Amino acid sequence: MFRSTAVKNLITKRTKISLPELKYDFNALEPFISGKINELHYTKHHQTYVNGFNTATEQFSELKQKLDTDPVTISRKLNQLQQNIKFHSGGYINHCYFWDNLSPVEAHGGQLPSKDSKLGKKINEQYGSAENLIKLINKSLAGVQGSGWSFLCYNTVNDALEIRQTYNQDTITDAGVKVLIAIDAWEHAYYLQYQNRKVEYFDAIWNVINWKEAGKRFEA
């Protein structure tokens, strides 16, 4: 089963998480995603989710030890922290998938899966072609009102690919559902370069999508 090293941090005994190591330079995805966007996205936005998760989980642990002193008040605070943990952990996980989903053009970024590969066969079986699938994912992305994500997932329960959409930093948590591709539809992912032309960003990002990584996740 696929899990990136960064995502594993959330389910091991580690008490703190950290940014995943990028496999490419910030400017390696140009001209499709500018180096400045990647730098800000990674060092500011993703780092914020890391910091928020670490702070909230630490506070949660400290408050639990005080539960006997004031059960009602402490329980209310714990409930509030749980919402904070959900938001920041979702942002952390989604971005870990996102960075691994991208690759420079010279390092097979944008190369569609072979029709003979396991993922390629599954895509053709369900959608007719990778191009048809991309159009549907872009439709899902364009349908995000405000901030959110679109995912290509593999549902192991019914052996089917699925396009899923979430809002804010909600992530995919269903048992048996594996994220193959995650695309960020928040403004911070594109606005510095594309302004209000987010549809151009949705089209452009496929030039640097790492389909080999998606194939590995599918076959794992």
| C-alpha to C-alpha distances, 16 to 5, 53, 103, 128, 132, nearest whole angstrom | 13, 8, 27, 44, 41
88 labeled part of a ligand binding site: no
DSSP states of 50-71: HHHHHHHHHHHHHHHTTTTT-H
Closest to 220 (Cα-Cα) out of 7, 17, 12, 28: 7
Distance CA 120, CA 96 (A): 24
User: Annotated binding residue at 108?
Assistant: no
* Residue 95, marked binder: yes
Task: Give the sheet arrangement for strand 148-155, strand by strand.
Answer: 160-167, 148-155, 177-184
Q: Is the peptide bond before 31 cis (omega within 30 degrees of 0)?
A: yes
Annotation: binding site for Mn(2+): 41, 95, 184, 188
Annotation: binding site: 41, 95, 184, 188
